[in-house]
Amino acid sequence: NAGVTQTPKFQVLKTGQSMTLQCAQDMNHNSMYWYRQDPGMGLRLIYYSASEGTTDKGEVPNGYNVSRLNKREFSLRLESAAPSQTSVYFCASSGRIAGGFNEQYFGPGTRLTVT
C-alpha cells in the first residue's frame, strides 16, 4: 500500500514554461486535494475534487488547472509558470472513517522552482 504518491519530486522551470504534477492514491478515497506550502503562509488549498469528474476551486486557484482523471489520479497543471508559483506542492486524499469523519493523508510533495 503506497498511500499517496506524487511525481516529480523536484522540478525547475523557466518563466512561461508549462508542466503537470501527477498524484495517485491507492486507498480508494473519493476526495483528493492539491495544496501549496510557502514559508509564513502555511498550507493553502489550490483545488480539490470530491469525486471522479468533479473539481472545485480552493483558496489560491489562479494560474492552475486540475484534472481528476479517475478515482485514483488527480493532476495539477501550470500552463505558464511564474516565479510566484515557486513552492512546495502537496497532494492529499481523504476518505470517510467510522463516525462519518474524513481523514486526509498527504503525498511526499513536489518542490518546484520557477526562475
Which positions lie near other proteins, rule CB under 8 A? 31, 33, 40-43, 45, 48, 50, 58-59, 90, 94, 99, 101-109
Q: How far is the CB of 103 from other proteins (least distance, A)?
A: 6
Beta carbon nearer to other proteins, 87 or 109: 109
The neighbour count for residue 9, using CB atoms within 10 Å, is 9
Q: How far is the CB of 22 from other proteins (least distance, A)?
A: 15
How distant, in Å, are the alpha carbons of 10, 15, 55 from that of 86? 11, 10, 23
The neighbour count for residue 52, using CB atoms within 10 Å, is 14
